[in-house]
């Protein structure tokens, strides 16, 4: 359950607005990279001090500041002071267990959501919180760790491909959300492949570890549902938000985002139903297999029970027993036992109990 809820013991008893990092402790310095562009030019740089971001607060260009390794509260505090962020919003940025949401702070919007990616080595979902701040001419993206899947967007900005260089920061924020949702589809596809593989195993020859695989997939889907379901509400809020920060030209793209998140949610719901059916099939198969084994054992017991009765009689230690001196007594008894066992076996076959 570690991914479902992160520890917040470090914040216990602190007043609201206290800047404490909630997440995986990493002794890596934060890094601020900047892409500043317009329709004709683009420049890239790295900021060594948070006060340097003031120069991008009121420019005619669009600025994308990406902050990696979010474990330093001082970096968030410095950016907040330079750009005028509320202390509670700074606290939310550092809380990587934040629920997906959107907040309108007048001159800027704050969006928190989960980035999902598929870990090929562990065959499971990696999660990371993404915090976006949209201003009049800038977008800030806060990430827990270095490395992301936004490189295609960076390449489009460098090459001037598509609309991103021609439109405002709201379209840049849309592009970041769009890439994030694209990876929801990727993760859902990988989980679906695992469910289909397990389903094939269940229908052919289930193994003892199949049950643990089914429960692991159930946890993956539950975790993904927890991450993606609130995104629907965020996108709906963006579509109906009355803010000068969201231009009318971006609305069609937001409708497309809403269609995407609906598809992801439908996929999660479908796979949850399929997984529940597969689990029920597995349990039913195991129960039927156990019943078959017990039936075979019961039939064998029924066959050997009269034979055991006969041997029990002749094994009694009485001095005077009939037929003890009969020359063919042993062979006759064996033949009678074989005949009786054969008749019982034939009877069970006729009844289709074997």
pLDDT of residue 178: 94
- Pairing relationship of beta strands 31-37 and 42-47 according to DSSP bridges: antiparallel
Task: Determine the structural domain holding residue 292 and report its residue range.
Answer: 288-350
One domain, residues 118 and 35: yes
Let me know whether 272 and 324 are in one domain. Answer: no
Identify whether the C-beta of residue 83 lies closer than 8 Å to the C-beta of residue 67: no
Q: Please check the confidence at residue 243 and state whether its pLDDT lies above 70.
A: yes
Which tens digit of pLDDT belongs to each residue from 16-53?
A: 656 777 767 677 778 899 999 998 899 998 888 888 88
Question: Domain count of the chain?
Answer: 2
**Residue 316 maps to which CATH number?**
1.20.58.340
pTM of the complete model: 0.79
Same domain as 201, residue 111: yes
The domain boundary residue, chosen from 240, 259, 284? 284
Q: What pLDDT is recorded for position 263?
A: 94
In a domain, 158, yes or no: yes
Let me know if residue 2 belongs to a domain.
Answer: no
Is pLDDT of 174 > 90?
A: yes
| Closest-CA residue to 113 (of 99, 125, 103, 127) | 99
Write the DSSP assignment of 83-119 as a string of letters: HT--HHHHHHHHBTTPPSEEEE-SS-EEEEEEEEEEE
**pLDDT of 97 strictly over 60:** yes
Asked, for residue 1, whether it belongs to a domain, the answer is no
Within-domain flag for 3: no
What's the pLDDT band for 7 if we cut at 50, 70, 90?
low
- Please return the burial class of 27, using the count of CB atoms within 10 Å of its CB with bins 0-12, 13-18 and 19+: exposed
* pLDDT for res 13: 52
Of 267, 284, 301, the residue that ends a domain is 284
């Amino acid at each position: 359950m570690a991914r479902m809820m992160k520890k917040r013991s470090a914040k216990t008893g602190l007043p609201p607005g206290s800047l404490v990092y909630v997440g995986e402790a990493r002794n890596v310095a934060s890094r601020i990279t900047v892409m500043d562009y317009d329709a004709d030019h683009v420049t890239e740089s790295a900021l060594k001090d948070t006060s340097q971001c003031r120069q991008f607060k009121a420019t005619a260009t669009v600025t994308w500041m990406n902050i990696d390794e979010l474990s330093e509260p001082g970096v968030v505090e410095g950016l907040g002071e330079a750009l005028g962020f509320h202390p509670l919003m700074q606290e939310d940025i550092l809380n990587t267990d934040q629920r997906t949401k959107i907040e309108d702070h007048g001159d800027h919007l704050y969006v928190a959501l989960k980035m999902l990616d598929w870990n090929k080595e562990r065959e499971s979902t990696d999660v990371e919180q993404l915090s976006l701040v949209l201003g009049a001419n800038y977008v800030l993206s806060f990430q827990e760790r270095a490395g992301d899947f936004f490189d295609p967007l960076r390449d489009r900005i460098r090459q001037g491909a598509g609309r991103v260089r021609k439109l405002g920061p709201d379209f840049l924020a849309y592009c970041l959300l769009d890439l994030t949702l694209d990876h929801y589809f990727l993760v859902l596809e990988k989980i679906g492949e695992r469910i289909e593989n397990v389903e094939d195993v269940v229908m052919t020859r289930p193994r003892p570890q199949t049950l643990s695989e089914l429960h692991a997939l159930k946890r993956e889907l539950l975790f993904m549902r927890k991450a993606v379901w609130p995104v629907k509400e965020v996108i709906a809020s963006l579509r109906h938000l009355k803010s000068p920060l969201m231009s009318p030209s971006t609305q069609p793209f937001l409708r497309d985002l809403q269609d995407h998140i609906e598809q992801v949610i439908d996929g999660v719901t479908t796979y949850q139903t399929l997984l529940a059916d597969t689990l029920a099939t597995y349990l039913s198969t195991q129960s039927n297999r156990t019943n078959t084994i017990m039936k075979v054992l019961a039939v064998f017991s029924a066959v050997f029970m009269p034979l055991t009765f006969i041997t029990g009689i002749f094994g009694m230690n009485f001095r005077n027993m009939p037929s003890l001196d009969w020359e063919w007594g042993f062979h006759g008894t064996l033949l009678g036992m074989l005949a009786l066992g054969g008749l019982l076996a034939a009877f069970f076959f006729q009844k289709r109990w074997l």
